[in-house]
Structures are given as structure tokens and as C-alpha cells.
Amino acid sequence: MEKNQNNRIVVFDIDHTIIQDNLTKLLIKDHIKKHPWLFIRCIPLFLYDFFLKKIKLPFKIYYHLKRQNGTLNLKKLDTLLQASILKLYQKIFSVLNWMYPQEHDLENAATALFTPRQLQKLVYKKAITELKAQLAIPNTTVVLASGELETILQPFLKTLALLLDHNPATNRLLVVGTQNKNNHITTLSTSSGKVDRINELLDEYRLSNDSIVNAYSDNQFLTDLPLLLLANQKRIIISEKNRFYELLPKGIVDSFVFTPEWKK
């Protein structure tokens, strides 16, 4: 079936780009707040998360890029990231499955937590402004892409649409994330996996990824490099330029627009 080439597509990461935190982490914290004694069960996850993000992953990425001598083998970097993040996600989703045994339990918890009032406190004002501006442009589809479970993302999307005064029935504000079946990850939506999920979504709506004009992400640990490189006009990074970018090819880095003021 022929794809619509006239649409312009804009892609936003969610965690630390649209909202100031991580949706899954917020759900876990909310559950612990209601059941404080369960904190002990989550200590191994919190320790592993800290170790991975503060020590292991930064070291592995820096060492990998250093060995590349100013070049970029995106496939090798992607393999490194996927392997590291998959283990973390498995631990996170294991805790979620333990807290919310049924999928509808998790969906109900997300619906109860991500109310308009609560979400208003979590979003970056600049993100809301930019989302509204993009949706106001004719023939524009906004895709929200995340590594979060789609069970969590759907309630989030409904509330976000309210904040944006947008009608979800127009199918111009879409969301895509990690798929889970029988408590097992079937498709991990991170790094190149996120691009795969975006392409699947665009195929469903007969849209082409050649029409992706802008991409927005904080690109923590370079996990959204494949996503950012899809954009053929603006590749916007919602953070300051860190030491990782010093080791990437200059041509790629020069194609990025760094906007740390987004988070102020």
C-alpha cells in the first residue's frame, strides 16, 4: 500500500525530554509511598540502576568511543547499549510485574497517577510549548517514542492530549514503546529498537520515515542516536554537550542543536 509522503513527522522522546523524570520510576515510587515496607524489595533494583548509569555504562560508552578514534560504528555502539539496557529493563519490569500482577492493574495505576494536575507538575513547559507548536502545523504527525511499556504510555498519552488541548481521535499524536507479553519483553523500544518500533507505527498509519523532519531527545548515554539521525532537518538534544560528543565524528555533532535551557 502506498505511503503518504505529504505528511511531516516530528518525534519526541518522553523521559527527561517531555517529563522531568521516568514514568516507570514514578509508578514504582508511588507504589512504595503507599506500601513503604516494599522498599526493601526494590533495593537491588535501585542499586543496579545507580551502578549502571553512574559507573558501568558511562565507562563502557567512553571506552568504546575512544577506541573508534573519531569514527562511529553505530551498530557496535547499539549492540553495547542494547545489552546493557536490556538487563536493567528486565529488572525494572520484573518489579512492575510483582507490584502489578495483571496488566490492567498496571494500566489503572498509571491512569490514577498521571492525572492532568500531576502531569502539569512533571512536564517541561518548553516541551508543551513545542508540542503545541508542532501540532498547529498542518499535515504534521507527532510521535512520542519511549522505552516504557505501552501499557503505561497509553494513559500518559490521554492525559497529555488534555494538556495540549488536542483531540486524540485525529491520530496526529501517537505513542510507541516497549511491548510486553506474558510478563516478557517482546520488543525493547530503546536505541535501534526504538527506531524499529517507530517504523512499525508509521507503517500502520501509512506514513514514511523519510518524512521525519525533527527529533527531540535528551539522548542520555547516546541511546537515541539512531532516533536523532532519522530527522532530516532538526536534531535537537535537550541537554548540554557532554564528553561523549567530543569523541563522535564532527559532522554528526555539528548536525545537533543543543538546548539545555529546555529544562530550566
Q: With bands split at pLDDT 50, 70 and 90, how would you rate the model's confidence at 76?
A: very high
Query: What pLDDT sits at residue 99?
Result: 92
- pLDDT tens-digit readout, 224-246: 999 999 999 999 999 999 999 99
Percent of the chain with pLDDT over 90: 79
Residues 6+ apart with CB under 8 A from 28: 42, 92, 95, 96, 99
DSSP states of the chain as a string? ---B-S-EEEEEE-BTTTBSS-HHHHHHHHHHHHSGGGHHHHHHHHHHHHHIIIIIHHHHHHHHHHHHTT---HHHHHHHHHHHHHHHHHHHHHHHHHH--SHHHHHHHHHHHS-HHHHHHHB-HHHHHHHHHHHTSTTEEEEEEEEEEHHHHHHHHHHHHHHTT--GGGS-EEEEEEEEETTEEEE--STHHHHHHHHHHHHHTTB-GGGEEEEEE--GGGTTHHHHTT-SSEEEESS---GGGGGS-HHHHHTEEE-GGGG-
Fold for domain 8-263? Rossmann fold (3.40.50)
The pTM score is 0.94
The CA-based diameter of the chain, rounded to the nearest angstrom, is: 55
Count of CB atoms situated within 10 Å of the CB of 46? 13
Q: With bands split at pLDDT 50, 70 and 90, how would you rate the model's confidence at 201?
A: very high
Q: With bands split at pLDDT 50, 70 and 90, how would you rate the model's confidence at 3?
A: low
- Residue 20: exposure state from Cβ atoms within 10 A (0-12, 13-18, ≥19): middle
Note whether 202 and 214 are within 8 A (CB). Answer: no
Q: With bands split at pLDDT 50, 70 and 90, how would you rate the model's confidence at 2?
A: low
Closest CA to 183 of 82, 93, 88, 83: 93
Average pLDDT of the residues of the chain:
92
> Does residue 195 have a pLDDT over 90?
yes
d(C-alpha 122, C-alpha 241), whole Å = 24
d(C-alpha 135, C-alpha 119), whole Å = 19
Report how far apart, in Å, the C-alpha atoms of 77 and of each of 52, 142, 248 are. Answer: 16, 27, 11
